[in-house]
């Protein structure tokens, strides 16, 4: 009797709930679990558990890579080229619905830029590559202070994808003979840029993926802007080429590869690097690689058609 | 002291007076429904044991990125160390409802409505991210901090922040463990035949399957959650101090969307917004149990039908049908043995919007998230985009208008207590 | 000496078989017709209480659809690629991969009732009805409102070994099934119970037979054997030939 009382009191303290609830709990658990009618299934077998755990601990899984979280020394460079595998789709023209005299070139609406592939070389333009988290930043990649011009003409953003560092100033120009309003989604900036005028904008906060830039007056106009804390980013040019210099060497790096039409989550772009087996691609378009000091890693990235959501 | 606590806690959890520490158990509803062979059940328990440890000694596997210190604070029996730091937080605060393995089947679960959440699907209703994404740490912290109004889930705002953080970590741990268990069970059910070996200790292919193909995507989803947060455009957000006229116009527009065929809120929340529209559906947790009951029932019909076939069959056919009857009977018996331990499934009832009680929080942004990404696991669909860059059904501005309308509903005259004659048949006499 | 010679010989054979499998001519097909043996229980009529439009349309319970000559519709027949393995894809399928898979909400029914999709394809969910629907595709963690006469697109990125349910929560009587695989070697039986999968790499493959009411279609007799407990059979696809399984009889008792 006394034993039972002590037990109950103990349990009350254990659960920190009222005696009434406790009684209820006991009676319910008594109903549900004790009669042994239901098969509750097996529990882990200690010997096998240990054997599996030993294997997992020594396996070359993600763990061993993550374990090397210690920072390395020295700097390296990563560069390369994006090439489309197969026949790229032709881009339809922009749906110019107003002010055709300004927004077309020789009476033709310009082609959309959802995927820009150079004929012949099949080089992919406007692919964004950036280092996700830099453990240290080389002086050459510190935030920049030079001003960047961001112009629009023929109702097109002349720079379709622009990368910047926080603190950099953007001169948003309008070379058209009509008003534009430039809306940088996610930044809170949405202003009218008068015909022939310019408005400065200073990048305040960084982003994990490029922000879309639109014009509410000409809704077909689209560009992308990537503000980053450091200079470890690049946008591929008309030759599909990119280069990010002086990234930390001797430690695991993770780059995000992004394209506005990328099919992976968050518009990640999943390519392949058949010539570089040490470069690991995730299905989000993230690339894991460790570079040696003073290494210049050159990658040929082959991107299959299905990596794009077109 | 600690040993005694362990013994009593175990007795409380198992309820049978055994003195072993409480083990993690498999999801037997799923195991039986998928007809997993006993040796594969054992293999799954072993793999989970290796990856996650036990309720008293959890393991923060490196690949999960979980914090061992936090897990240690949350797990195990309840005790305080010399400086007063509390241990066994999960068993102190959560286990009586959510159960040792996070199955939502603690001893009090049966008397609660709604039932406590089963974490093992990795699906959480109230969060800031896109439909398919996991919740962020902040989302889980908020649920612990504020509780879930209108349910038995209380607020833990009075706990020190480090204890809340430890519990959040432990909830994630139980979810990840539960998601792994489900994938292992799916695999065993579909890919393995009775007698097949399934042991990572001796098979690198199984090791790769478990760590890369199964755990990899689960962790990618959890680690990527913070990048899946829905941040409404600043331009779409209504300002705080709007003139009454402007608010009125927004409420009116929201009302039109609510009753219109694009947002279609009326179909489930009902023309009165009392939640009296679609009431026959289930959330994923109750559906699993409902399907289990239904399939168990179906077995009876199937056995009867096989017996009819047997009467007409001869030779090899008859032998084969006889074997099928034996198999079906065995499955029925296994299912039947579990029925008494299950909570009867309940329908998902759409929220009564006139009460002003919002389970996921009543801030405008909370209601915005509910409408934009829906409520995962429940019938409530998303009206916003399914992911970054996807096309939503409604614009953000329209969603804010519905938020305004929903916030106005509890203050409409129709929401106030009504005088009406009481129909005797509606009043319970307690008999 | 002898060993070295063996190694070279084995190497040569490997190269030879590898070259053979990548030869464009080495593709075969499979076809057949699935019929019910006996009379299956009639599926319970749907309880349609909502939206006058749906009540008027009188949607039927499509969980078991038996057509002319006992043809069984909506059976999933597909090649099973074991976990962690890949299969050669015939270039013929490249263009189809870019095409969207359409799922229509029409007359408060999903059309088609049995959907096939490849990872990477886009699922284009339409609503041709004057009433609003929502489409809940559990395998994709997708559940979105689809207003009248509009559509929503979702990229198919996650699959599973078996078909899974598609539901409309506004009209819970609406059901469909979707199979998502990482390859195109999948089929569903049509109104006449027939199916055909073309351009499969020649060789032995395991095929899965699955139906929503029957689950795994087990112990079903095929030419030269039967499906196993999990509704699977290993069949040999010969280059340039079509394996015609003829009529495959599923006992009515297998459909609950």
Percent helix / strand / coil, chain C, rounded to 5: 15, 40, 40
Instruction: Answer whether B375's CB lies under 8 Å from B131's CB.
Output: no
Residue written as token pair 């990572």: B200
- Strands, sheet with C133-137, edge to edge from the N-terminal-most edge strand: C114-118, C175-181, C164-167, C133-137, C142-146
* B245 lies in the same domain as B189: no
* B372 lies in the same domain as B321: no
Nearest CA in chain A to B342: A32
C4 DSSP assignment: H
Question: Of the ranges A14-18, A140-144, B409-413, C161-165, which one carries the lowest mean pLDDT score?
Answer: A14-18
Question: Of the ranges A260-264, C80-84, C208-212, C235-239, which one carries the lowest mean pLDDT score?
Answer: C80-84
Residue C215 neighbours by CB under 8 Å, 6+ apart: C231
Domain that holds residue B411: 230-281+348-415
Interface size between B and C, measured as CB pairs under 8 A: 113
Domain that holds residue C55: 2-254
Burial B242-276 (b: 16+ CB within 10 A, else e): eeeeeeeebbebbbebbeebbbbbbbbbbeebbbe
Number of other residues whose CB lies within 10 A of the CB of residue B347: 15
Rounded Cα gap, residues C74 and C212, in angstroms: 8
Q: What is the pLDDT of residues A46-93, one digit of tens each?
A: 999 999 998 887 654 433 344 444 567 899 999 999 999 989 999 999
Query: Which chains pack against B, by 3+ Cβ pairs within 8 A?
Result: A, C
pLDDT the model gives residue C190: 95
Which residues, listed in sequence order, are joined to residue C250 by a DSSP beta bridge? Answer: C36
Residues of B with CB under 8 A from a CB of C: 131-132, 186-187, 190-191, 193, 205, 208-209, 213, 261-264, 267-268, 277-278, 280-281, 284, 298, 301-302, 305-306, 308-309, 320, 324, 374, 376, 379-383, 386, 390-391, 393-394
Residue B197 neighbours by CB under 8 Å, 6+ apart: B203
Number of other residues whose CB lies within 10 A of the CB of residue B314: 8
**CB-CB under 8 Å, C146 with B391:** no
Please give the mean pLDDT across all residues of chain B: 90
Which CATH number does the domain A75-142+230-310 belong to among 3.40.50.970, 3.90.1640.20, 3.40.190.10, 2.60.40.10? 2.60.40.10
**CB-CB under 8 Å, B381 with C143:** yes
Cis ω before C112 (30° cut-off from 0) = yes
pLDDT the model gives residue B245: 95
Q: What is the pLDDT of residues C183-211, one digit of tens each?
A: 999 999 999 999 999 999 999 999 999 99
> Of the candidates C147, C170, C256, which has its C-beta nearest B262's C-beta?
C147
Rounded Cα gap, residues C24 and C27, in angstroms: 7
**The pLDDT of residue C21 is above 80:** no
* Number of structural domains found in chain B: 3
How far apart are the two ends of chain C, measured CA to CA in Å?
64
* B18 lies in the same domain as B164: yes
Number of other residues whose CB lies within 10 A of the CB of residue A182: 25
Query: What is the pLDDT averaged over residues B202-227?
Result: 91
* B221 lies in the same domain as B195: yes
Q: Considering the domain boundaries, does residue B383 fall inside one?
A: yes
* B174 lies in the same domain as B260: no
Residue C106 neighbours by CB under 8 Å, 6+ apart: C126, C128, C129
Confidence of residue C2 (pLDDT cuts 50, 70, 90): very low
**The pLDDT of residue B301 is above 90:** no
- Comparing B261 with A297, the larger pLDDT belongs to A297
**The pLDDT of residue B384 is above 60:** yes
Chain C residues lying within 8 Å of A309, measured CB to CB? 122, 155
> Of the candidates B31, B46, B107, which has its C-beta nearest A45's C-beta?
B46
> Of the candidates A265, A306, A309, which has its C-beta nearest C97's C-beta?
A306
> Alpha-carbon dihedral of residues B410, B413, B415, B419, nearest 10 degrees?
160
B143-152's contacts with Cβ under 8 Å and 24+ in sequence apart are: B144/B168, B146/B361, B148/B359, B148/B360, B149/B357, B149/B358, B149/B359, B149/B362, B150/B355, B150/B357, B150/B359, B151/B112, B151/B114, B151/B359, B152/B97, B152/B108, B152/B112, B152/B116
Which residues of chain A have a pLDDT value below 70?
A: 1-39, 58-71, 186, 188
**CB-CB under 8 Å, A10 with B4:** yes
**CB-CB under 8 Å, C50 with B209:** no
Check if A100 contacts B (Cβ < 8 Å): no
* B12 lies in the same domain as B122: yes
> Of the candidates A43, A48, A62, which has its C-beta nearest B23's C-beta?
A43
Tokens of A161: 């994808």
pLDDT the model gives residue A175: 93
Q: Considering the domain boundaries, does residue B51 fall inside one?
A: yes
Q: Which domain CATH number covers B403? A: 1.10.760.10
Confidence of residue C18 (pLDDT cuts 50, 70, 90): very low
Residue written as token pair 């705002």: B157
**CB-CB under 8 Å, C84 with B205:** yes
Show the DSSP H helices in A68-204 as ranges: 100-103
**CB-CB under 8 Å, A265 with C120:** no
Share of chain B above pLDDT 70, in %: 93
**CB-CB under 8 Å, A14 with B77:** yes
pLDDT the model gives residue A25: 43
Domain segments of chain A as ranges: 75-142+230-310, 143-229
Query: What is the pLDDT averaged over residues B358-374?
Result: 96
pLDDT the model gives residue B422: 65
pLDDT the model gives residue B388: 79
Q: Considering the domain boundaries, does residue B427 fall inside one?
A: no
Q: Considering the domain boundaries, does residue B209 fall inside one?
A: yes
* B125 lies in the same domain as B259: no
pLDDT the model gives residue A64: 38
**The pLDDT of residue C73 is above 50:** yes
Chain B residues lying within 8 Å of C146, measured CB to CB? 393
pLDDT the model gives residue A209: 83
**The pLDDT of residue B373 is above 90:** yes
Q: What is the pLDDT of residues B60-93, one digit of tens each?
A: 999 999 999 999 999 999 998 888 888 999 999 9
Radius of gyration of chain B (CA): 25
Tokens of B148: 């879930």
Q: Which of A:205-224 have CB within 8 Å of B?
A: 208-209
Confidence of residue C79 (pLDDT cuts 50, 70, 90): very high
* B296 lies in the same domain as B244: no
Residue written as token pair 């509803």: B29
Q: Considering the domain boundaries, does residue B425 fall inside one?
A: no
Check if A263 contacts C (Cβ < 8 Å): yes
Share of chain B above pLDDT 90, in %: 70
* B319 lies in the same domain as B360: no
CATH architecture group of domain A143-229: Sandwich (2.60)
ipTM of the complex as predicted: 0.80
Q: Which domain CATH number covers C126? A: 2.60.40.420
* Number of structural domains found in chain C: 1
- Comparing A166 with B168, the larger pLDDT belongs to B168
């Amino acid at each position: 009797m006394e034993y039972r009382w002590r037990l109950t009191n103990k349990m009350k303290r254990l659960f920190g709930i009222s005696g009434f609830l406790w009684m209820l709990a006991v009676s319910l658990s008594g109903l549900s679990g004790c009669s042994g009618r239901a098969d509750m299934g097996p529990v882990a077998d200690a010997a096998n558990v240990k054997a599996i755990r030993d294997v997992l601990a020594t396996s070359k899984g993600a763990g061993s890579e993550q374990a090397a979280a210690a920072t390395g020394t020295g700097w390296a460079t990563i560069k390369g080229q994006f090439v489309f595998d197969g026949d790229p789709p032709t881009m339809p023209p922009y749906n110019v619905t107003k002010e055709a005299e300004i927004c077309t070139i020789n009476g033709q609406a310009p082609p959309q830029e959802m995927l820009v592939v150079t004929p012949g070389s099949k080089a992919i333009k406007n692919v964004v590559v950036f280092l996700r988290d830099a453990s240290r930043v080389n002086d050459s990649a510190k935030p920049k202070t030079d001003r960047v011009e961001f112009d629009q003409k023929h109702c097109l953003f002349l720079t379709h994808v622009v990368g910047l560092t926080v603190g950099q100033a953007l001169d948003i120009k309008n070379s058209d003979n009509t008003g534009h309003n430039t809306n940088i989604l996610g930044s809170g900036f949405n202003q009218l840029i008068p015909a022939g005028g310019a408005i400065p904008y200073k990048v305040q906060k960084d982003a994990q993926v490029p922000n879309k830039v639109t014009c509410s007056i000409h809704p077909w106009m689209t560009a992308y802007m990537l503000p980053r804390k450091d200079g470890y980013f690049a946008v591929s040019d008309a030759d599909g080429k990119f280069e990010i210099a002086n990234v930390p060497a001797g430690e695991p790096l993770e780059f995000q590869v992004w394209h506005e039409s990328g099919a992976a989550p968050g518009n990640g772009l999943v390519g392949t690097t058949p010539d570089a087996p040490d470069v690991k691609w995730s299905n989000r378009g993230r690339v894991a690689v460790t570079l040696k000091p003073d290494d210049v890693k050159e990658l040929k990235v082959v991107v299959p058609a299905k990596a794009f959501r077109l | 002291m600690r040993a005694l606590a362990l013994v009593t806690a175990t007795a409380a959890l198992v309820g049978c007076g055994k003195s072993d520490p409480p083990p993690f158990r498999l999801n037997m509803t799923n195991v039986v429904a998928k007809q997993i062979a006993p040796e594969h059940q054992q293999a799954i328990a072993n793999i989970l044991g290796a990856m996650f440890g036990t309720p008293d000694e959890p393991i923060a596997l490196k690949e999960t990125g979980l914090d061992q210190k936090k897990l240690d604070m949350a797990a195990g029996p309840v005790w305080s160390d010399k400086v007063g730091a509390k241990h066994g937080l999960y068993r102190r605060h959560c286990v009586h409802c959510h159960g040792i393995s996070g199955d939502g089947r603690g001893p009090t679960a049966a008397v609660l409505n709604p039932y406590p959440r089963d974490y093992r699907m990795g699906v959480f209703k109230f969060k800031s991210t896109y439909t398919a994404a996991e919740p962020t740490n902040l989302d889980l912290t908020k649920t612990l901090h504020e509780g879930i109004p209108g349910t038995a889930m209380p607020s833990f705002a009075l706990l020190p922040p480090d204890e809340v953080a430890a519990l959040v970590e432990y909830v994630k741990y139980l979810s990840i463990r539960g998601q792994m268990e489900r994938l292992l069970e799916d695999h065993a059910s579909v890919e393995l035949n009775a007698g097949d070996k399934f042991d990572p200790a001796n098979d690198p292919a199984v090791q790769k399957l478990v760590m890369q193909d199964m755990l990899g995507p689960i962790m990618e989803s959890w680690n990527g959650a913070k990048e899946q947060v829905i941040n409404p455009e600043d331009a779409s957000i209504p300002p705080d101090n709007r003139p009454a006229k402007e608010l009125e116009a927004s409420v009116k527009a929201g009302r039109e969307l609510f009753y219109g065929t694009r947002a279609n809120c009326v179909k489930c929340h009902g023309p009165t917004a009392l939640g009296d529209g679609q009431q026959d559906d289930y959330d994923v947790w109750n559906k699993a149990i409902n399907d289990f009951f239904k399939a168990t029932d179906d077995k009876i019909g199937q056995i009867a039908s096989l017996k009819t076939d047997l009467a007409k069959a001869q030779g090899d056919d008859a032998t084969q049908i006889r074997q099928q009857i034996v198999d079906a009977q065995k499955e029925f018996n296994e299912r039947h043995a579990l029925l008494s331990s299950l909570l009867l499934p309940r329908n998902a009832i759409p929220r009564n919007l006139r009460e002003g009680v919002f389970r996921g929080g009543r801030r405008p942004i909370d209601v915005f998230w509910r409408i934009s990404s829906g409520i995962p696991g429940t019938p409530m669909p998303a009206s916003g985009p399914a992911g970054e860059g996807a096309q939503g059904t409604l614009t953000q501005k329209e969603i804010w208008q519905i938020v305004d309308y929903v916030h106005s509903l509890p203050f409409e005259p129709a929401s106030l207590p009504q005088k009406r004659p009481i129909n005797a048949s509606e009043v319970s006499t307690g008999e | 000496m002898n060993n070295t010679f063996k190694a070279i010989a084995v190497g040569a054979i490997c190269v030879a078989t590898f070259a053979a499998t990548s030869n464009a001519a080495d593709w075969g097909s499979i076809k057949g017709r699935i019929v019910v043996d006996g009379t299956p229980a009639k599926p319970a009529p749907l309880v349609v209480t909502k939206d006058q439009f749906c009540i008027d349309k009188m949607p039927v319970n499509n969980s078991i659809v038996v057509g002319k000559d006992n043809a069984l519709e909506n059976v999933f027949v597909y090649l099973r690629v074991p976990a962690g393995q890949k299969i050669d894809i015939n270039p013929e399928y490249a263009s189809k991969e870019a095409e969207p898979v359409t799922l229509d909400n029409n007359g408060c029914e999903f059309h088609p009732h049995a959907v096939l999709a490849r990872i990477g394809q886009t699922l284009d969910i339409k609503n041709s009805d004057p009433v609003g629907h929502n489409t809940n595709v559990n395998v994709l963690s997708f559940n979105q409102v689809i207003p009248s006469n509009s559509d929503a697109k979702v990229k198919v990125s996650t699959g599973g070994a078996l078909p899974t349910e598609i539901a409309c929560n506004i009209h819970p009587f609406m059901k469909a099934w979707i199979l998502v695989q990482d390859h195109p070697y999948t089929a569903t039986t049509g109104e006449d119970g027939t199916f055909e999968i073309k351009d499969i790499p020649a060789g032995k493959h395991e095929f899965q037979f699955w139906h929503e009411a029957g689950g795994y279609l087990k112990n079903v007799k095929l030419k030269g054997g039967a499906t196993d407990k999990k509704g699977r059979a290993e069949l040999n696809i010969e280059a340039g030939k079509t394996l015609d399984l003829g009529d495959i009889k599923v006992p009515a008792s297998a459909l609950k």
